[in-house]
Chains A and B, each alone.
Chain A
Amino acid sequence: MTGVISGSGQWAYVVAAYALTALLIAAVLGHSWRAMRKAERRSDALRRDRT
């Protein structure tokens, strides 16, 4: 009983944690980007209509 976890089973946890992080951040980034582009295009279009 050395107390050190050995074997490749550990990497499954590490990969799961990193993959989840990447996935969730990418999802929120993507959503925020698309929502911003859509809103700013709408705003720009209205401004052009007026002038």
Chain B
Amino acid sequence: MKAKHQRLILALVALVGVAGAGVLAASALRDEAAYFRTPTEVAAGAAATGEAMRLGGMVASGSLQRQPDGLTIRFVATDGEASVPVEYKGIVPDLFAEDSGMIADGRMRADGVFVADRILAKHDERYVPPQMSHPPKTGKATPAA
């Protein structure tokens, strides 16, 4: 009987673990889908002022400016169709650069500027040796989720 009980407990542990992981994943992914916006969606009015959201897009060429305080940066996030100005105060990842993908967590301010409190750099699927530079990617950087 002991071995049978042990088996039952192990099976239950496995089941609970998998079910837990599934629920966790489903909720995380649903949040992510509801949370993630492209500049086109923002331009279409999908983001209410002050609502926590995640903005994904490319840093528009020539738009990156460092403010005099040395910490605040401003840039324009674009998906090739629409663009959103972004302001961020803090240290950005090393890969964050113009013509590269990025993801910012934050909220829209009343004046239409997205204020980010966290920025992640997104790498694209291309890998090239240093002699060949990355040509700017054409089209939408981040298709609607």
On A, residues with C-beta under 8 Å from B are 1-5
Contacts and interface: CB of A to CB of B under 8 A. Distances in A.
A5 B97 CA distance: 11
B95 A1 contact: no
A49 B68 CA distance: 86
Interface in B80-98: 94-98
Contacts of A3: 94-98, 100
B120 interface: no
Interface of B: 64, 94-98, 100, 130
B17 to A, nearest CB: 21
A42 B95 CA distance: 56
B75 to A, nearest CB: 10
A41 B96 CA distance: 58
Nearest to B99: A3
A2 to B, nearest CB: 7
Contacts of B100: 3
Nearest to A7: B94
B92 to A, nearest CB: 8
A1 B91 CA distance: 12
A4 B133 CA distance: 11
Nearest to B66: A1
B64 A5 contact: no
Closest CB pairs A-B (n = 5): A3-B97, A5-B94, A1-B97, A3-B95, A3-B100
Given A3-B95, A3-B98, A4-B130, 12 more contacts: A1-B64, A1-B96, A1-B97, A1-B98, A2-B97, A3-B94, A3-B96, A3-B97, A3-B100, A4-B94, A5-B94, A5-B95
